Structure 1
Amino acid sequence: MGEDLTSRLYGLAWRVTPRLPDPVAALVFGGIATGMRWSGAGGVRQLRVNLAQVLGQSVDSPAVTAAAGRGVHSYLRYWREFFGLTGWSRDRIRDTVVFESLDRVTAARAAGRGVVLALPHSGNWDLAGAGLVVHGHPFTTVAQRLRPEPLYQRFVSHRAALGVTVLPADETRRTVTTLAGRLRAGEVVCLVADRDTSGAGIGVRFCGAPTTFPAGPAQLALRTGAALLPVSVWYDGPRLRVRIHEEIVPAGDGATRVRVAAMTQALADVFTAAVRRHPHDWHVLQPVWAAAQPVRNQPVAL
């Protein structure tokens, strides 16, 4: 019953949101954000824990309280835009998404190389992807398989309508083979890379504390010769800014795992700087660091 209700709610949001005038949609999703703030529901307490680590402050500090308050509204803005994207024109996407150094992607592809774009869960990665497609760079990505299956397929078809190919994360061998083949063909792969859901990631220091990141971006770049380009994404008023950082170049020698570890730590360093610049736009409501501060189990007024 829970899965069925979830699927129905998502379906309702997909049907209704594109039909709402922007001010009305903003009011509705802003109201949901306010409810989450006051109740502490939907991972808001964990968001405070995560932001405490990012900012180097206590969970109950004014800085964390302010960042979490803005963060919940930024998170609901992501969902409002996500559900409404099917109603966006290419011109609207082009006007909303502002790229910095997109020429790095163009140059790598012009040289016959594939491109691995690795980014954190910041801003609106789906809107950023739609912008990438509009600028002539369709891409392939990977997503966890949701339950129930029709909901997962709805996410896949929604992104396909934007020009994005989604491969399932739970079919590891086939997915990795497909990604490698597309990179060797000079195509683009985008991977959200600030959470290790496999339990077999690479140890890194991220925002000053140890955790693990997925090894996939660095492994694929090494295996195929693709350019590994970190990406940071954040909201800037009505626009979304997407910065393509300099290529992370692997060391010329050493064991593969050592080289992958060094490249993954370099990614974590870029992500650390990006998340600390715009902490309220980092949408991770799940545990990231095992040693992060606990938060009191009570409603949180942000």
Structure 2
Amino acid sequence: MFNRFLVFLAKHPHVIPERMLRGLFLVAADVAWLFDVSGVRQLERNLNHVLTSANDGRRPSRRQLRRVSRQGMRSYFTYFAEAMTVGAQSTRRLLARTRPAGPGYPIARKVTHEQGLSIPIAIGHQGNWDYEGLLASNRLAPVTTVAERLKDDELLKTFIDIRKRVSIDVLLTGTPHLTEKLEKILTGTHASVPLMGDRDLGPNGEFVEAFGSIIRVARGPATLALDTGLPFFVVTMYRERLHGRRRKEAGISQGYVVYISEPLDIAAMRSLPREEAIHAISQAWVDEWSKAIKAHPQDWHMLQPIFLEDLDFSRLRNVPQTVVDRLDDRQRSQLRDQG
């Protein structure tokens, strides 16, 4: 039912005024939060790690956790309202809703404009990645990315169409030789290739340290950085209140900051054996990315399990011994049954 509603909105973006649609989605977010649905509970489990790490090991109070999770749900549902109304907005208005920041932005501009190189980018489930892609396409280089292959074909087509509208070319998970195709795009064309890396959907992810625990991330960003040798950036995103002329041009009261890190120094890592190099590069970008999550936890839309304590090890492969040593009895049993 919800999927059909999203498809209808995307196909008819002028039917409901954006301001009204945002209000409806905020109500929906508050209802989901109030009834503590499963996604909210998982979000709070994830945020508990983040807030504890940000507070030097002190666990957040229930009140603080609930406050941040409500902000997170409202941020997440606002993304859907924004995505479904992309077709009703001009490119100029959409661009007014984001601004680039961070020490890596002028470097990325120089790399893509003066040197004519492509750039691999690691991103996470933050803010509005469609707006982020539009900004990258207009300020850096044309964007190609990877999207999850959804079970609902019509909804999948809807999201692909939305991303085409904001100048993003999409490849789908499960595409044969996907990594090789992305490497060819990076080395053979002029492109930005941002990959959502803070969650791995398959059986073979990379285990790295984050927020005082272990999370499992996608190997794609590190693999592209390793194999291409191109400058590798981490991009994070969070909301900010708009004022004056920019608020008028954006047509909304809150926009986004797209924060670009300096390119990661991975030269020494590239001399390591391949698996060690992928792990080291993955840990490096996660270290950079996690700083932004701590600073802006309310804009991290992670409603799925990614921390060691929540993973189902009956579905995973190639679990390193260092991770096995930290599993509880239930997870060890899952791993034995899987083997």
Task: Confirm or deny a common fold (TM above 0.5).
Answer: yes
Alpha-carbon spacing, 1:49–1:14, altered in 2? closer, same or farther (3 Å): same
Deviations, residues 239-288 of structure 1 (Å, cap 9, x unaligned):
10001101112243221221221111011111211101000100010001
- Does 1:21 pair with 2:21? no
* Whole-Å separation in 1 of the counterparts to 2:275 and 2:18: 48
- Does 1:47 pair with 2:43? yes
- Does 1:222 pair with 2:223? no
* Pairwise CA distance, 1:69: 1.1
Q: Secondary structure at the match of 1:94?
A: helix
- Does 1:255 pair with 2:273? yes
Which of structures 1 and 2 has the bigger CA Rg? 2
Query: What does residue 268 of structure 1 align with?
Result: 286
Counterpart contact for 1:139–1:190, Cα < 8 Å = yes
Superposition pairs of residues 120-269 of structure 1, within 5 angstroms? 120-135=124-139, 137-173=141-177, 175-185=178-188, 186-237=190-241, 238-252=254-268, 253-269=271-287
Counterpart contact for 2:140–2:192, Cα < 8 Å = no
Counterpart contact for 2:207–2:216, Cα < 8 Å = yes
Counterpart contact for 1:54–1:279, Cα < 8 Å = yes
Alpha-carbon spacing, 1:16–1:112, altered in 2? closer, same or farther (3 Å): closer
- Does 1:278 pair with 2:296? yes
Q: Which has the higher contact order (CA 8 A, sep 6+)?
A: 1
Q: Secondary structure at the match of 2:204?
A: coil
Structure 2: any 5+ residue segments left out of the alignment?
Answer: 53-57, 242-253, 312-339
* Whole-Å separation in 1 of the counterparts to 2:125 and 2:100: 17
* Whole-Å separation in 2 of the counterparts to 1:59 and 1:111: 46
Counterpart contact for 1:249–1:263, Cα < 8 Å = no
* Whole-Å separation in 2 of the counterparts to 1:243 and 1:107: 16
Q: Secondary structure at the match of 1:291?
A: helix
Query: What does residue 336 of structure 2 align with?
Result: none
Q: Secondary structure at the match of 1:241?
A: strand
Alpha-carbon spacing, 1:221–1:18, altered in 2? closer, same or farther (3 Å): farther
Counterpart contact for 2:240–2:256, Cα < 8 Å = yes
* Whole-Å separation in 2 of the counterparts to 1:113 and 1:275: 29
Deviations, residues 122-165 of structure 1 (Å, cap 9, x unaligned):
11111111222233522100011111223212221221121111
Alpha-carbon spacing, 1:25–1:203, altered in 2? closer, same or farther (3 Å): same
Q: Output the amino acid matched with 2:257.
A: R
Q: Secondary structure at the match of 2:37?
A: coil
Deviates more, 1:92-101 or 1:271-280: 92-101
Counterpart contact for 1:233–1:241, Cα < 8 Å = yes
Counterpart contact for 1:251–1:259, Cα < 8 Å = no
* Pairwise CA distance, 1:292: 5.4
Alpha-carbon spacing, 1:228–1:201, altered in 2? closer, same or farther (3 Å): same
* Whole-Å separation in 2 of the counterparts to 1:281 and 1:235: 7
Alpha-carbon spacing, 1:234–1:165, altered in 2? closer, same or farther (3 Å): same
Counterpart contact for 2:105–2:261, Cα < 8 Å = no
Equivalenced residues, count: 288
> What is the Cα-based RMSD across aligned positions, in Å?
1.9
Q: Secondary structure at the match of 1:239?
A: strand
Structure 1: any 5+ residue segments left out of the alignment?
Answer: 294-302
Report the identity percentage: 26
Alpha-carbon spacing, 1:207–1:14, altered in 2? closer, same or farther (3 Å): same
Deviates more, 1:112-121 or 1:57-66: 57-66
* Pairwise CA distance, 1:118: 0.8
Q: Secondary structure at the match of 1:140?
A: strand
Counterpart contact for 1:93–1:134, Cα < 8 Å = no
* Whole-Å separation in 1 of the counterparts to 2:130 and 2:23: 21
